[in-house]
Structure 1
Amino acid sequence: MSKTFTQSKDELVGKAKKQMDSVFGQGDWTIRQKLALTCRILFDAGHDSGLAGQITARGTEPGTYYTQQLGLGFDEITASNLLLVNSDLEVLDGKGMPNPANRFHSWVYSARPDVNCIIHTHPMHIVALSMLEVPLQVSHMDMCPLFDDCAFLKEWPGVPVGNEEGEIISKALGSKRALLLAHHGQLVAGETVEQACVLAELFERAARLQLLASAAGEIKPIPAKLGKEAHDWILRPTRSTITFGYFARRALKQHGAALS
């Protein structure tokens, strides 16, 4: 008999974690390259909505972050055409201007020192769900990185270019990693670019599944203990890095210019 057949689940999980951490590295991409790849990955995943949405990551200096130039779509972002801005949206490096809606990113970064990447987009299924004014329901194993980690803002505060919207959105997010904004879209606040990208991709898929399942019947909840277990297992940093690497390799087949 195999020597692992008598081991407990906790023992097997611990062994798998150690093996994963020793086998897989953290990748060699810079922050700029990761952001550019994230833009292309999410473009292919249906997050494109014209010029709506922002994808940002903290810069090396306090109070700074990278973002896209206003006027460029997600499929046009490269590592070299990103802007570095401060919390007042003043351009410190690069040409052009940032989206004025980046203001609420400044509020989230200020409120959440643990957050290093923010993704805000208006993908089709999330937007459709937001129009119903109902929270995201996580009822499938694959979507569990969002289990009990997605807040809901039912009242639409209008276009997020003022400090009022930044205060409302950052407060609604609280300590969670994701936020569904009614009549608007989604926000993901990740500890790394990789984690934020993976969560944003899952968020749109989860919204689509919820719409499909609710059209067929009543969505049944999963046990909270098991949902939390799956959340912690799938959302491990190494797992996010591995998944991001796969998404990046797939995107680079069509978007090789992203790293330039």
Structure 2
Amino acid sequence: MAPVAQTLIHETADNARAGAMGKTKSGKALKIRSYPKFDSLEEERLYRKQHLAAAYRVFAERGFDEGVAGHISVRDPLLPDHFWLNPLSKHFSQISVSDLILVDEDGDVVIGDEPINAAAFAIHSEIHKARPDVHAACHAHSVYGKAFSVFGRELDMITQDSLRFYKNHAVYGQFGGVVLDREEGRRIAECLGDGKAIILQNHGLLTVGETVDAAAFWFLSLDKTCHAQLLVDAAANGSGHKKTFIPEEEARFSYEQVGTPAKGWLGFQPYYDDILAKTNGSFLK
């Protein structure tokens, strides 16, 4: 190997190690994005609402809308047993901060003048009750998510991205029609357990997170992972090729690199920046 090539390889390795420690090779601190700190709960409320509205816009861009189906919720920091949702009949692409509806634990509208999706309340209220650590939940009828849900099975750990859900997702293996009963919501919450995602049989996907950013990113990633799984299964069917599964030790180690709440929050920030630029911040009003 040429000396120049060896030098580049060593420099790349050194820079990677320096980057992992949060500093440049010269010792200068790197600017690492992280969840902001707030001076008041009012400030955090606004932040959560802004990122909730952004998540709806991002979902719209990816075709996760389907009439009045689908919903994203975020817990209110001032009133922890209340959460913000989208108005029933407003398209995801049009949702702004001022459109968001605040409901209490009984589903009564506290702020806003439009109804919410009754299924959203039945599912999300029970998840928020069961999981105090969960501040946001996303559910939509994405094409690949609902296609994969038909099989009623967990994901195979066959790609690096699938490892975000390693031992951290569940399958709700029954379809009880449109979820209008809170008891159904309780069963879904119980099945979810302490995981970050659940595949709802013949229905679609649901993800949760400590932040709306993380919950939204997990949903984006889960839908793409379902897409990849469908492609792999289709290609393997009758071809004679066997799928290569990622070993347990590597999967467990990699989960810590790609599946933590902080990585979920960080993963959504490029999407937030992108929708902010594309809309000139129109969702912030």
1:4 deviation in Å?
Answer: 9.8
Is the deviation greater in 24-33 or in 115-124?
24-33
Q: Contact 1:39/1:77 (CA < 8 Å) preserved in 2?
A: yes
5 Å-filtered alignment, 1:191-202, equals 191-202=210-221
Aligned residues: CA RMSD:
2.5
Report the identity percentage.
27
Task: Give the counterpart of 2:93 among 63, 75, 91.
Answer: 75
Q: How many residues align?
A: 255
1:48 deviation in Å?
Answer: 1.6
1:167 aligns with 2:189: no
Task: Give the counterpart of 1:32 among 45, 49, 52.
Answer: 49
SS in 2 for 1:221: coil
1:129 aligns with 2:148: yes
Gaps of at least 5 residues in structure 2 are: 1-6, 24-28, 38-45, 237-241
Residue matched to 2:168 = 149
Residue matched to 2:270 = 246
Task: Give the counterpart of 2:115 among 92, 97, 100.
Answer: 97
1:237-258 CA-to-partner distances (Å, cap 9, x unmatched) read: 4433332221112223433321
Distance 1:3 1:69, change over 3 A: closer
Residue matched to 1:44 = 61
1:5 deviation in Å?
Answer: 6.5
Q: Contact 1:136/1:180 (CA < 8 Å) preserved in 2?
A: no
Q: Contact 2:168/2:197 (CA < 8 Å) preserved in 1?
A: yes
Q: Contact 2:155/2:162 (CA < 8 Å) preserved in 1?
A: no
SS in 2 for 1:70: coil
Residue matched to 1:259 = 284
| Higher Rg | 2
1:20-76 CA-to-partner distances (Å, cap 9, x unmatched) read: 986324359711100001111122223222211110000121210000001112112
1:122 deviation in Å?
Answer: 0.7
What one-letter code is carried by the residue in structure 2 that aligns with 1:78? S
TM-score (norm 2): 0.82
SS in 2 for 1:134: coil
Task: Give the counterpart of 1:210 among 202, 217, 229.
Answer: 229
Question: Distance in 2 between the 1:259 and 1:93 partners?
Answer: 17
Q: Contact 2:171/2:191 (CA < 8 Å) preserved in 1?
A: yes
Show structure 1 runs of 4+ deviating over 4 A.
1-6, 17-22
Task: Give the counterpart of 1:62 among 71, 76, 80.
Answer: 80
What one-letter code is carried by the residue in structure 2 that aligns with 1:158? G
TM-score (norm 1): 0.89
1:16 aligns with 2:20: yes
Distance 1:62 1:5, change over 3 A: closer
